[in-house]
Amino acid sequence: MIGRSPKIVIRGLEKSFGAKAVLQGLDLDVLEGESLVVIGASGSGKSVLIKNIVGILAPDAGSIRYDGMEIASLAGNARDRINRGIGMLFQNGALFDSLPLWENVAFPLLSTRTMARSGARARSIELLREVGLGPETADRYPADISVGAQKRVGLARAIATAPEMLFFDEPTTGIDPIMGAVIDRLIVKCVRDLGATALTITHDMDSARRIGDRIAMIHDGKVVWIGNVEDIARSGNAVVDAFVRGAPAARGTGV
């Protein structure tokens, strides 16, 4: 399942906001076909990491190679070309309140003009079904459905273009543990069905264990440990141990 070649190679990644150094020389490899979960305290820079990879933020220093190509400061058409192969589930779902669910799901299909509206609607209904939502939900609006259902819609949108690379930012935050487990299983299924590479960030250890082949821990702006899911209980790393056991010091005081 895990390919031998790296999909993403990050070296010496740095990102600060004013005086606040968030990423401080972060190194990370994401292997082709794997599901890698990045854990870390709230405010440790997990979302900033993903935003640097997908080009929402530009790094201050360091290298990000994607399929061997340097993308750290890529912009314009070249960036769009890379991002067309990427699907993303944002931390808060990030659905468009004014659009019905089917148009939310179809957004990446319509915005790249890869599909006509009627075809996109039919495809959206299929995608909604894949995440467990019936066709009657297609014309409803985000405000009319539960947060768990919103996550499903966000997932359907993330996979709409059958991307080779998926990013999930806190997919289970804000939903109850039972729904969280359902979403985790859906994520695992969608990633497997697509044969995609996935990078998920979470501060939820149960979720990390369900989703990941490997886990990497961010602390003080660096990856301080990376290994197979089954090895995390004996990481030999005090920060990881504290996080896994839920010690407040490792979890931080953020939201």
Ligand X SMILES: Nc1ncnc2c1ncn2[C@@H]1O[C@H](COP(=O)(O)OP(=O)(O)O)[C@@H](O)[C@H]1O
> Would you call 178 helix, strand, or coil by DSSP?
helix
> Quick one: which segment of 29-37, 46-54, 152-160, 183-191 binds ligand X (CB under 6 A)?
46-54
Q: Is 47 in the site for Mg ion (CB under 5 A)?
A: yes
Q: Are 22 and 184 in contact (CB under 8 A)?
A: no
Smallest separation (angstroms) from Mg ion to the CB of 201: 6
Total residues at the site for Mg ion (CB under 5 A)? 2
Question: Is 106 one of the binding residues for ligand X (CB under 6 A)?
Answer: no
Give the separation between CA 108 and CA 71, rounded to whole angstroms: 21
Tokens of 3: 């390919």
Q: Which two tokens stand for residue 20?
A: 């606040």
Buried b (16+ CB within 10 A) or exposed e, 163-173: bbbbbbbbbbb
| Contacting residue, 48, 53, 187, 190, with ligand X by CB under 6 A | 48
Answer for which of 47, 137, 197, 207 binds ligand X (CB under 6 A) is 47
**What is the x/- site pattern for Mg ion, positions 4-43, by CB under 5 A?**
----------------------------------------
Count of residues in the chain: 255
Binding-site partner at residue 148 among ligand X, Mg ion, none, CB < 5 to 8 Å by type? none
- The answer to whether 38 and 216 have CB atoms below 8 angstroms apart is yes
Total of residues contacting ligand X (CB under 6 A): 11
Q: How far is CA 255 from CA 44, 92, 173, in A?
A: 11, 13, 11
Binding site for ligand X (CB under 6 A): 17, 22, 40, 42-48, 254
Footprint on this chain of Mg ion (rule: CB under 5 A): 46-47
